[in-house]
Structure 1
Amino acid sequence: MQDLMRNVSNSYKNFSSGQKKIGDLFFKEPIFLAFSSALEVGRKVNVSESTVIRWSQKLGYRGYAEFQHVLQRKLAEERIEQVEESETPPAVEQSFFANLLDADIASITQLKQTMDEDQLLQAIDVIGQARNIYVTSNFFDYGLAHFMTSWLNLTLDHAELLMQGDGQYYRQVSDLNSEDTLIAFVFPRYTKSVIDTLQTVKDQGTKIILITDSADSPAVAYADISLEVFVNSNLNIDSYTAVHALIASIMRFIYVKEHAKVKSNLAKVEEIYMKKEIFI
């Protein structure tokens, strides 16, 4: 952490007046910079988001995200050292844990403030009208895609997971047309395979609902509807808390809009649960 502080201190004389405000905030509240977006940092000191990004680049980083990852790692290392030296390590660990949770809370708050609800409602309509629903993702986001597919298949009974490498992939792709809908989870790091899938099904007229991290995502060009949700990286570990919150909201909207169908399908499954005495 000390080397990072020296870097900011040595660069301070070369900062613009706005960048000096960010430098001052860094020395006062490094944790705020570690777990807040460039936009949030800029708002706190009354400068633009681009000023925050240029400030991090002046320190030698490619952008604010890279600087933030380094800062998070440095803070974590510092906390670990404090734990090793402290006689009361639980308090230190809890403080860092609280910071991580605060970052997730901030991500959900950002989703609440930035989500285009009209786009979200359009997505619900498209899902409800689809002949078949397919869900795909980068391999990093496989868990999100699998979870969403399982729930959609349980409630609407015509959803399939579409992943390159699966033996059914090309059969599924060949069957896609304009009556179908593809839901795609595309978060960094973006893979060539998921972009290839989007391009292929787009050429076949399939409607694409994209869930991604920003308007700069390479997948946006193929989307009919794009839902953007911020993914917070803490210590280079992506937190999908806000993405799960969005998925839960989509599920609830579908439950309300397609209530009769969902209720009927869930009742059939519940009957099997009871017959087989699945639950204690």
Structure 2
Amino acid sequence: MALQETLDKIQQIQDSLSATQRQVAAYVLENYHLIPFLSITALARNIGVSNNSVIKFCNQLGYDKFAEFKKMFSEYAHSELVMYNKLSDSEETASDNSLFAMGLGDDTAAIRATLTDPSNQQNLPQLLEMMERAKHIYITGGRVSGMMADIFANILRYLGLKVFSINFAGDYLDRLSMVEPEDLVIALSFPRYTAQVVDGIRDLHEAGIPIALITDTGLSPCHPYADLAFHCSIASGYYFPSYAGCLSLISLICRAMGAARKKGAAQHIHQLESHLLERGVFL
């Protein structure tokens, strides 16, 4: 059974489990990325249950032994090291032309997979409604995701929306604490996931803040806390992920929001650009 299938199954059966088994299920869903590095004793101790409870949980999912259960998570952890493996194994013999072709192929495939995802297409109208209802919109991300959050917020402000980007810094949690239930948080989170962003999204979810997530797959540690999720392909044959799919999704959301706001957005853009021209921002 693949890791995603296992996590989906855990979510499906979680409510029917005993109280102790639900503890195990909740921990696995939230901390699956830690399981490859834990013994059964350490895992049981972290959860606060017995070793036997962990074994029974594995049995519920069709695994005879904890070792079989752990192996699946270990294979996933190994796949997360693919960037390191590609870099360390590469002989850097590709020509400039082949690198352009590889980049075009990877980015085109990422864009196509992201924009043709039926779930993404289905969720777009709901996101637009959430954005329109929100008192303020906060867009957050860590590291590279934080840079994309800045781009996203900048474009949406052009449409007259009250949008703020909150990127990871020393007072990150302090700034997240200003978000209110009438607001909307759009979180961007991609491997390797920034722990502080995941913690912040969890806290916001527990406080009842609406959260829309843009991430890679359902295995994202932010996924359990999202009210709405979009998945972006980041597959790449090179050293690092392709973010072309995510950037295309951001562009699509902004385009759709502009179409939804129509004249109001056009009027705001005209006033803003006139102001920027007067101040000498543009040449």
- TM-score class, shorter-chain normalisation, is 0.5 to 0.7
Aligned equivalent of 2:198: 195
Distance 1:228 1:66, change over 3 A: closer
3-state SS of paired residue (2:186): strand
Show the counterpart of 2:277. 274
SS of alignment partner, residue 201 of structure 1: helix
Please tell me the residue identity of whatever aligns with 1:123: L
Alpha-carbon shift at residue 204 of structure 1 (Å): 2.1
Kindly tell me: are residues 237 and 271 of structure 1, through their superposed partners in 2, closer, same or farther at Cα, counting changes over 3 Å?
same
Q: What amino acid sits opposite 1:153 in the alignment?
A: R
Compare 225-234 and 157-166 and name the one that shifted more: 157-166
Which of these residues, 147, 154, 160, is aligned with residue 150 of structure 1?
Answer: 154
**Are 2:141 and 1:127 equivalent residues in the alignment?**
no
Compare relative contact order (CA 8 Å, sep 6+) and give the higher one, 1 or 2: 2
1:99 aligns with 2:102: yes
**1:20 corresponds to which residue?**
none
Alpha-carbon distance between aligned partners in 1 of 2:279 and 2:81, rounded to the nearest angstrom:
55
3-state SS of paired residue (2:241): strand
Instruction: Point out 4+ residue stretches in structure 1 off by more than 6 angstroms.
Output: none
The CA RMSD measured in Å over matched residues stands at 2.7
Give the number of aligned pairs.
210
User: 2:68 is matched with which residue?
Assistant: none
Partner of 1:160: 164
In structure 2, the residue matched to 1:180 is 183
Q: In terms of mean alpha carbon deviation, does 151-160 or 181-190 score higher?
A: 151-160
Residue type of the partner of 1:136?
A: T
C-alpha contact (below 8 Å) 2:139/2:186 kept by paired residues: yes
CA change 1:134–1:93 in 2 (3 A) is same
8 Å Cα contact 1:156-1:265 kept in structure 2: yes
Contact 1:130-1:181 within 8 A present in 2 as well: yes
SS of the aligned residue for 1:175 comes to coil
CA displacement, residues 207-253 of structure 1 (integer Å, 9 cap, x when unaligned)? 10100000111111000000001112443322211111000000000
Which deviations, in whole Å up to 9, do the C-alpha atoms of 1:138-186 show, x marking residues without a partner?
A: 223111011111222232341112234355852x434322211000001
Offset at residue 67 of structure 1 (A): 8.4
Give distance in 2, aligned partners of 1:75 and 1:194. Answer: 31
Say if 2:83 and 2:240, in contact at 8 Å, map to a contact too: no
Residues 78 and 146 of structure 1: CA distance in aligned 2, closer, same or farther (over 3 Å): closer
Aligned partners of 1:138, 1:212: CA distance in 2, in Å?
12
Greater C-alpha radius of gyration: 1
Whether the 8 Å contact between 1:135 and 1:161 is mirrored in structure 2 is yes
Residue identity matched to 2:136: N
Q: Which residue does 2:93 correspond to in 1?
A: 79
- Aligned partners of 2:123 and 2:230 also within 8 Å: yes
Structure 1 residues 166 and 260: CA distance shift in structure 2, 3 A: farther
SS of alignment partner, residue 162 of structure 1: strand
Question: Given the superposition, is the C-alpha separation of residues 150 and 247 from structure 1 closer, same or farther in structure 2, using an over 3 Å criterion?
Answer: same
Q: Unpaired runs of 5+ in structure 1? A: 1-56, 81-91
User: 1:115 touches 1:229 (CA, 8 Å); kept in 2?
Assistant: no
Task: Normalising by structure 1, report the TM-score.
Answer: 0.66
